[in-house]
Amino acid sequence: MHCRKSTSKGMALLIVLFILVIMITTAAWLSEDILLQLRTTENTRNSSQAWQTLLGSEAWAVSVLIKDSLESKSDHLGEAWNSLGQGIEIEQGSLQTVIEDMQGRLNLNNMIDESSVIPPQTGNKPDPRIWTQAFRRLLISLEMNPLLSDAVLDWLDPDQDVRSTSGAEDIEYLNMTPPYRAANRAFSDISELLQVKGFDKKTVQKLAPFIAALPANNIRININTAPAGLLR
């Protein structure tokens, strides 16, 4: 009889322990789930606040530029748009709005030979070779290989003719991993250079302060806002 009571008590204790383990596990799971939901809610709120702050900053920058266009016919670094203050404190840190004149940089798309575009473009515009020479001078001033310009020209032009051993067309890019083709069109962003033969992240970062990828080609450089390294 004593043995049966001990066995019953032992079984009861195991059942209690089992139930306790289930309760603790469930509580831990619920706590983790609630914590995850709270973090998700907080991240969503922060993202929304950041987006609204960004839109406000952009609207402010546009108003500054509109006022500038009404007051001045030329852009230079002494204007209000180039000195918007040290920024403001917000809940998650600080916000500083910076406006840069992209026409103070060399537009990569200026190097497109419009005579090779279909249909050919006409008009009294600078010879694209002038911009190619300017890009090569920039590469030299930054201690880079000036023949990198050949790879850029091959990336821009519509044909499959490789300009030199430094250039590249589909036949080479299709052997990459993963394979891809030369764009054969204007750059939409300078980050596209990362796909061009001879360029890597370090190279693009070094060039970034001096170049742009503007929609229209043959845009002249604004010497009033151009960095010194571009005017050498």
Other CB atoms within 10 A of residue 211 CB: 19
Q: Which helix (H) or strand (E) holds 89?
A: strand 88-90
- pLDDT attached to residue 153: 97
- pLDDT attached to residue 71: 83
pLDDT confidence of 158, banded at 50, 70, 90? very high
- Domain 104-230 -> CATH class: mainly alpha
Tens-digit pLDDT profile for residues 204-223: 999 999 999 998 777 888 98
- pLDDT attached to residue 8: 63
Q: Are 107 and 212 in contact (CB under 8 A)?
A: yes
- pLDDT attached to residue 177: 93
- pLDDT attached to residue 229: 84
- pLDDT attached to residue 6: 57
Q: SS3 string of 96-107?
A: CCCCCCHHHCEE
- pLDDT attached to residue 82: 78
3-class secondary structure, 95: strand
57 contact partners, CB below 8 Å, separation of at least 6? 95, 97
Q: Which of 127, 150, 152 is nearest to 213 (CA)?
A: 152
212 DSSP β-pair partners: 107
Other CB atoms within 10 A of residue 124 CB: 5
pLDDT confidence of 147, banded at 50, 70, 90? very high
- The mean predicted confidence, pLDDT, of the chain is 82
- pLDDT attached to residue 151: 97
Q: Where exactly are the structural domains of the chain?
A: 2-95, 104-230
Tens-digit pLDDT profile for residues 159-191: 999 999 999 999 999 999 999 999 999 999 999
pLDDT confidence of 45, banded at 50, 70, 90? low
Q: Are 134 and 106 in contact (CB under 8 A)?
A: yes
